[in-house]
Every structure is written in C-alpha cells, then in structure tokens.
Amino acid sequence: MLHLKNDQKSSKDLRTRTEKVNCFLSYLEMKFRERFCPGRETAVDEAVVGFKGKIHFITYNPKKPTKWGIRLYVLSDSKCGYVHSFVPYYGGITSETLLHERLKNSVPGSQGYHFFTDRYYTSVTLAKELFKEKTHLTGTIMPNRKDNPPVIKHPKLMKGEIVAFRDENVMLLAWKDKRIVTMLSTWDTSETESVESAWWWEGNSSQTQGQKSKEEEERRFIFAKHVNVNQVFMWVTDFQLRQVCPSNSGLV
C-alpha cells in the first residue's frame, strides 16, 4: 500500500485537488522522462486508474473496462506504448491547453515530433499552433469543431466517396465506408491506398482454429509486454532498453 502525507499547509487561494500527491506525481514523470527517449510518432489518449474512493474528480464511464476511477491524459510512444508524460483530470481542462501547454512541453525539443490524437483532442486551431513549432498532428476530428467548413460539418457522401479541403498546411478530410469518418492532418495527403488485413483465416477445421488460438496468444503476450513497460519494477533488461534508445540504460 502506498500512503502519501503532506503536513505543509498551503494558502486557500493556492490549494489544488492534488496538492498532497503532486510531489509524487512529479517524481514519477521525472523518472519516466529520464529512462526513455520517445520516438517521432507519439500518441495522446486517455487512461483510467481504477478507484472508488471519495474524491471530487472521480469519473464513471459504463462503456469502459474500468468504469470507476481517476482519468489520466497521457503522452506515449506510438510503437511501444511507453508513457512519457501524464496529466490527471481535475475537470475543466481543454484539449488545446492539454497538448500545447503541458504534454508538448514535456518532450525536450518537440520540433519534428508527430502527434496522433483522437477526435476529443483534434482541432484546426491546435494543428496550426503545433505546425508553427514544426510539430505535426494527425487524428480524427469532430465534424462540428470550430473552423471546420460546412461541407465537412454536414457531408453528404456515398459509400467510398472522399471530400478534402486544405488550408495552408492543414488538411481536412471526410470519407464514408459504413459511416462517415472525419480526420485532420498536417502530414498526410488525401490519396488512398488499398490494404489487406493481416488477421484472417479460412475454413473451420481444427487445424485452422488451433492456428488462430496460437496467433491470439502471441498477440496477448505482446500486448502484455507493452502494457507493463511503465511499471515501477520494469520487467525489461538493461540490454533491451539500450536497443530501443541509447538513453534507455537503467531502470526506474
């Protein structure tokens, strides 16, 4: 069990909801940054730490595997899933503040990085601000976001059709398959290419089913290895860390 205590009393005007744990959170972030050099492609998303205690900023989402808990906004490496920086959700934080002011600044020399986000964070304003600092952004975007053109907000497309707009270095695109998907990018173009699924099996023979089970086990093992990369007692050797990045020597 981890018990945190801070006897120093702060003034009422400067109190925060996490003042008793800020020193511990800052220590974790510092160690995360020391032990890993993130790659160019980085992802911004949410995570939930399971918790059912009495706090004002606890969240509940019945659609998530962990329904009750503390929400975290995390900046992680897209290839291995290593969490480089995180911001607990206290309420009333905007996506622009989250990315541009906190998470982006946590990456030393963010020039040249490529952020991948989901529609909760992506906006035209944010993309332009990041591009000024030579940082790219790609992600799905809500159709009704501010600065989106009317055709993107209310697209009328047939299956397989694409409509795209470009404002300087920002591209907005709407594409329809089973439903309409809207995305933004300062890196990619509107060109499409065919892809083949890597996970498909024909027939219902026992051999095929056995092969499918084996493949699923391998995928679960790889997923578990990536998920555990940020635990305090990392189950990864020093040699393996050096292979990922020269600065990855040592454990937390």
Collapsing DSSP states into helix, strand and coil, what is residue 163?
Answer: strand
**Contact, 87 vs 103, CB < 8 A?**
yes
Give the residue-averaged pLDDT of 68-73. Answer: 85
Collapsing DSSP states into helix, strand and coil, what is residue 204?
Answer: coil
Residue 27 scores a pLDDT above 50: yes
Q: What is the predicted pLDDT for the residue at 16?
A: 61
Q: Which two tokens stand for residue 184?
A: 């933004």
pLDDT for 143-171, tens place per residue?
Answer: 888 777 777 777 787 887 788 888 788 88
**Contact, 96 vs 118, CB < 8 A?**
no
CB atoms within 10 A of CB 77: 21
| Total-model pTM | 0.64
**Contact, 50 vs 66, CB < 8 A?**
yes
Residue 208 scores a pLDDT above 60: no
DSSP at 102: I
Q: Any idea which residue has 């974790």 for tokens?
A: 28
pLDDT for 165-193, tens place per residue?
Answer: 887 888 888 888 888 888 888 887 666 66
pLDDT band for 103, please (50, 70, 90 cuts): low
Give the residue-averaged pLDDT of 231-237. Answer: 40
Residue with the bigger pLDDT between 229 and 91: it is 91
pLDDT band for 6, please (50, 70, 90 cuts): low
Residue 121 main-chain phi, psi, to 5 deg = -105, -30
Domain spans of the chain? 17-110, 111-194
Q: Count the helices and strands in the chain (H runs, E runs).
A: 6, 9
Least confident of 16-30, 155-169, 213-227: 213-227
Helices (H), the chain: 22-34, 95-96, 124-132, 150-153, 206-227, 238-244
**Contact, 138 vs 184, CB < 8 A?**
yes
Helix (H) or strand (E) holding 49: strand 41-50
Q: What is the predicted pLDDT for the residue at 155?
A: 77
Q: What is the predicted pLDDT for the residue at 93?
A: 60
